[in-house]
Structure 1
């Protein structure tokens, strides 16, 4: 149970304390809003799909922007939801890896997508925006197979969820020990295909498949790659049940580790690839598909060129291939080479001028030559005389710019056939008050920062931008649209477009004195913080734990607090769990965030969020009291009452009263108990738990109790104990 539920009345404490040690500041978590996932990541035509949308640094009442023919969605994100996930294994906490890295604790919001029966199969897209900014565009897949939504816990074969083929399975590897198991029936001789979508929908998951027989034997299966995702193919040896197990290769997990997998006995459709004979002579222009079928496979082609002839060579990977191209003379001496790893779009390309009339060779290998190969290592080679031309690309499909400020987009130019001229830039869709610079790409320039500037009085809004470039090539005007990199496929309506959000100026700033203080584990510690109210904003503000941290929280929480209008100083209540790893985490450094809503000068209702620029620095001390169970276990069954014996192990630092209550299982599941008060100085209590006739009693059932007391006027002490339950027949 979240610690926030302990506090039914939100109060602002007004006590003082002395900071003991000033500390140096460190990098603050990134402040721009972002999306992390959507679950499920798709839906079936003709259905209404409840979804959970994951975000960070996004306040309530955010806008939901959606693109997709035949799909309807609400214009605002719904209520915050807390799904029940597989718990992660307790382990020593760690700091975020690398400078500027964040630990992610995304918030999930409810929404609902209505998919028409005739909606086009393929992909829709969405993003979230607010007065604080907008997120990148993410895909939502539209299918026509039956859908299955996994439910926890299905981490062992005996709890595997049964599915009927063909089916699309939607799942999350939501905890560090989470494994998803599904059982299906198949007939002898059938070919079963599991097509995994993870990287293709922007998930952090790196899935690992394992297939088992009904008696637990691991079975061999063929694995192919489609871009960065796996496709598993399995020929069924005998009729019966089979268990498919899915995990993450790194054993990491979280709500954002989503996947969408089609499990079917439908035939796999491969794009046919025709390989020319080895060392074939090409007639230019030539376009050739190919494959590196084995780890030692390489392809060799010949072509003729005249002295000073400029030849363009492009090798585009079709799937997981990372091709390298080498130009050689007739004796095999290398003359030029290029690799796909040198390009953002993984396209291997070069232009080469022939030093003399003659025949030359192209040698193609994969970057993983000698270690990996297969039919999925496919490419398309293009060889032709270079013609003057250009294309340019932008690495992000969204940008936020604040009123009175500026933002940048990285623009990369590729020039071909000796074209070196200037390129005039234009942006369609710019709102009033927003301009860009520079207006052109200079001669020979191959990269630049495209700057968007908003004046102070720009109206906050979302809009779609299309960026184009014009140039004179061979005395003829040529126009090219910028290629914009998106997360997977996107609908044509927003392909190669940049989503702009004009952000409202900040209306408040959250801060604190970053100095170490001391608090006991197992308490809620009041940490003094301040709010700087800006531009006359005087409304209420909601405080909560930041969704981005630079250190594992290790169970630390912030009690959500309502800061009344006009208040500028308050106490942030930080829960220090008694289970913190004292040996490695003797201090905590959580960041907090706060949000507010207001109406801007244009009459638009806005939601704003601010992440504190400093940490709450608390060195932890030992617990002052510990709640313990005197029962190794209790025996129970539905329709009975069990009596649990509990004891407080007090230290000299705490002799006060405590309120004892049952917090898990929840009362709505059929488990109820009256609160028990343990008086000052007392140590033992008995709690009677009634189990309803309709209560569900899983084999691993346990009862969790929580004791709450007052250490000081401003410090609450909390301890919990678990009593295992043995279910009787």
Structure 2
């Protein structure tokens, strides 16, 4: 058993159980990797207009005893909708968006029995909105759409959604469909057609259609998935907007890719100092610049080459950074630098360097799920590198989009910065993924929703800027009561570390918006940098059939469910700093708190934290209450100092889901049976139906609560070790 408390069922609670009409997806025998986590999968609609109130219906996984629907911005609030009898309507909320709430994408999450769920995008716009609730898969059933409005829709499989609108000659309209950028699985295809449905313009790459009719008339919009997929996870926000003739085509607000965490550099101005000036493709028309510089430009038109020319002196080192892909654009910047040497009328360009991608700080998973690396790529096709000047002279820098010959979009902008070294760093974290069993193809969204006694490992990687190579201390602040965070320092010259978030066994139910940070010393001064956090947009249980889609989150919520404890806690027998002399061995006795049965007699454990991660694997008994770990410092050779480590492994628990629900369902069944006995003849039919419903619910929750084998990551409570220098003995 893992349940810490089973509250007495009140009459209201019994009625609520009977009125729950929505059945959440079952835990089921297919769930075999990682303990159940609460996940919000859909909100309908997917957003709303600032200054309005909208009714929202949600769905998800492992969502029991629902509480507050929360948003990452305080300008969005929600209250549960209540029916005529004062009972909350299942999964329905009234969401109020403040008039001054920023437009764009925000995070929506639901508080559940297991803690705060994973997030789903909730968009805020400034146009009136409608919801497509009726079938509109033919021209005859097309939904009329007003210019300057948004429609929230869900695509059916093998279907096309139809809309109609009225437009005037010369009126410039932009039709866009926000989908992948708001967590949808839809790969949107947009078509503008005439009144009879004959196609006029088509966009198959998820972009917008810039449409100006030649005559007044009625027109048709068609929307479908690229491969005609559909279902509740194929949602979209269709916008029809009029813009001025000389305005740039707007892009729908979108989530940020994981690699965007490394942009912008600290203290960078919002706008660039200089603007790229065309024509500058040819060497003879190179744009003259003086270093350092900050330039904004665009990869436009197709196959654009932007050439910049500057003078530099021998011994200078310039750092070059380009942001374009990290701005959310489909670009791949590339730079070549040449020295220009002249002899009379002759000119020669001598290769100096070529700059391209920012490599991922750590090896990325080769297949998107199995842990030969994380399924998160923090690298980018943008540029961060240096140019070393070997001779005084004139130099040319050419900036291109590697595959720009097929792209002709003025919105594909870039920011080019050339600077003297400004050492710095940026960090991003995500829930640790491990290959927990043979054939494991999971890439799961893992909210920081903690069970009592659990330690959750967060993998943190760093992009180092302009030669910074020092150690980085990791931490997390503003945590719920009973929750602590211990950072395992990213060592000097390394790119990866671990943050351990631990909930005490008796940690109460709670929720905060936490802050992930890294601290280091740069040029003799302490600096702190706020970190970003990433998650899978969808829980992928079989990455052979679905490509994982990770993204950055807007915030870092940490919660404690307060209803369950973790199946197994591992901790040192004493909460102290363990001291050991360099070159000796340290034995750490461990206490194992087991709250269920396990498959197999032992669990193999390894060690987090350099250089102790080189310690060999060791077995821990799953049938005893104690064990020990031995660290041989003669082999590990740690320098004297204070270290934080933890032991980790995986075990197969006989896990039971929400056993408290069984007791509640039994009480509910008993209550409706008593009511049925007292019911009049006219009420007997309804009473029998209520008994049948209560019996089915009891069967369902018993099935879910039946023990199932689930393999999960087990991490010990963090352990501090102080290595004391060995005393050298000299003979007289």
Q: What's the TM-score bracket when you normalise by the shorter of the two chains?
A: 0.5 to 0.7
Question: CA deviation digits over 1:663-700, x for unaligned, max 9?
Answer: xxxxxxxxxxxxxxxxxxxxxxxxxxxxxxxxxxxxxx
Q: Distance in 1 between matches of 2:81 and 2:139?
A: 39
Distance change >3 Å, CA 359–CA 484, structure 1 → 2:
farther
Q: 2:357 aligns with which of 328, 339, 344?
A: 339
Q: 2:512 aligns with which of 446, 463, 466?
A: 463
Secondary structure of the corresponding residue to residue 329 of structure 1: strand
Q: 1:499 aligns with which of 539, 557, 572?
A: 557
Distance change >3 Å, CA 563–CA 255, structure 1 → 2:
closer
Q: 2:208 aligns with which of 199, 222, 231?
A: 231
Q: Distance in 2 between matches of 1:458 and 1:43?
A: 36
Q: CA deviation at 1:233?
A: 1.0
Q: Distance in 2 between matches of 1:77 and 1:336?
A: 63
- Tell me if the contact between 1:312 and 1:349 (Cα under 8 Å) persists in the aligned partners: no
Q: 2:170 aligns with which of 179, 185, 189?
A: 189
Q: CA deviation at 1:164?
A: 2.2
Deviates more, 1:56-65 or 1:473-482: 56-65
Distance change >3 Å, CA 486–CA 194, structure 1 → 2:
farther
Q: 2:425 aligns with which of 342, 367, 390?
A: 390
Matching residue of 1:642: none
Q: Distance in 2 between matches of 1:304 and 1:238?
A: 55
Matching residue of 2:298: 291
Matching residue of 2:542: none
Q: 1:329 aligns with which of 330, 334, 338?
A: 338
Matching residue of 1:157: 139
Q: Distance in 2 between matches of 1:192 and 1:59?
A: 45
- Tell me if the contact between 2:337 and 2:352 (Cα under 8 Å) persists in the aligned partners: yes
- Tell me if the contact between 1:388 and 1:473 (Cα under 8 Å) persists in the aligned partners: yes
Q: CA deviation at 1:399?
A: 1.9
Q: Give the strand-richer structure, 1 or 2.
A: 1
- Tell me if the contact between 1:510 and 1:594 (Cα under 8 Å) persists in the aligned partners: no
Normalized against structure 2, the TM-score is what?
A: 0.58
Q: Distance in 2 between matches of 1:76 and 1:159?
A: 31
Q: CA deviation at 1:349?
A: 2.8
Matching residue of 2:457: 408
Matching residue of 2:384: 350
Q: CA deviation at 1:274?
A: 4.2
Aligned ranges for residues 12-411 of structure 1 at < 5 Å? 31-74=36-79, 109-116=91-98, 121-173=103-155, 175-220=156-201, 229-267=206-244, 269-270=247-248, 274-275=276-277, 277-278=280-281, 279-317=286-324, 318-330=327-339, 331=349, 333=351, 335-339=353-357, 344=378, 346=380, 348-354=382-388, 356-357=390-391, 358-395=393-430, 398-411=447-460
- Tell me if the contact between 2:334 and 2:402 (Cα under 8 Å) persists in the aligned partners: no
Q: Distance in 1 between matches of 2:66 and 2:420?
A: 55
Question: CA deviation digits over 1:245-274, x for unaligned, max 9?
Answer: 001112111112111122122337439974
Deviates more, 1:453-462 or 1:114-123: 114-123
Distance change >3 Å, CA 30–CA 250, structure 1 → 2:
farther
- Tell me if the contact between 1:593 and 1:612 (Cα under 8 Å) persists in the aligned partners: no
- Tell me if the contact between 2:303 and 2:401 (Cα under 8 Å) persists in the aligned partners: no
Matching residue of 2:345: none
Secondary structure of the corresponding residue to residue 41 of structure 2: strand
Distance change >3 Å, CA 399–CA 536, structure 1 → 2:
closer
- Tell me if the contact between 2:81 and 2:92 (Cα under 8 Å) persists in the aligned partners: no
- Tell me if the contact between 1:336 and 1:352 (Cα under 8 Å) persists in the aligned partners: no
- Tell me if the contact between 1:297 and 1:369 (Cα under 8 Å) persists in the aligned partners: yes
Secondary structure of the corresponding residue to residue 157 of structure 1: coil
Secondary structure of the corresponding residue to residue 208 of structure 2: strand
Deviates more, 1:406-415 or 1:387-396: 387-396
Secondary structure of the corresponding residue to residue 405 of structure 2: coil
1:417 paired with 2:394, answer: no
Matching residue of 1:653: none
Matching residue of 1:702: none
Distance change >3 Å, CA 28–CA 108, structure 1 → 2:
farther
- Tell me if the contact between 1:308 and 1:353 (Cα under 8 Å) persists in the aligned partners: no
Q: CA deviation at 1:236?
A: 0.7
Q: Give the helix-richer structure, 1 or 2.
A: 2
Q: Distance in 1 between matches of 2:82 and 2:359?
A: 39
Q: Distance in 2 between matches of 1:371 and 1:378?
A: 15
Question: CA deviation digits over 1:430-469, x for unaligned, max 9?
Answer: 2333222335332222211212122212223221111222
Distance change >3 Å, CA 304–CA 403, structure 1 → 2:
farther
Q: Distance in 2 between matches of 1:496 and 1:114?
A: 19
Q: Distance in 2 between matches of 1:352 and 1:78?
A: 64
Secondary structure of the corresponding residue to residue 293 of structure 1: coil
Secondary structure of the corresponding residue to residue 140 of structure 2: helix
Secondary structure of the corresponding residue to residue 365 of structure 1: strand
Secondary structure of the corresponding residue to residue 296 of structure 2: strand
Aligned ranges for residues 699-710 of structure 1 at < 5 Å? none
Q: Distance in 1 between matches of 2:119 and 2:30?
A: 33
Q: Distance in 2 between matches of 1:312 and 1:264?
A: 42
Q: Distance in 1 between matches of 2:294 and 2:302?
A: 24
Matching residue of 2:602: none
Distance change >3 Å, CA 412–CA 145, structure 1 → 2:
same
Structure 1 unpaired stretches of 5+? 1-7, 11-23, 80-106, 489-493, 514-529, 543-558, 574-591, 596-609, 615-729
Matching residue of 2:5: none
Distance change >3 Å, CA 362–CA 145, structure 1 → 2:
same
Q: CA deviation at 1:299?
A: 2.5
Question: CA deviation digits over 1:511-539, x for unaligned, max 9?
Answer: 9x9xxxxxxxxxxxxxxxx9958999961
Q: Distance in 2 between matches of 1:171 and 1:25?
A: 30
Question: CA deviation digits over 1:521-578, x for unaligned, max 9?
Answer: xxxxxxxxx9958999961459xxxxxxxxxxxxxxxx9875798xxxx7999xxxxx
- Tell me if the contact between 1:282 and 1:302 (Cα under 8 Å) persists in the aligned partners: yes
Count matched residues.
Answer: 488
Q: CA deviation at 1:231?
A: 1.7
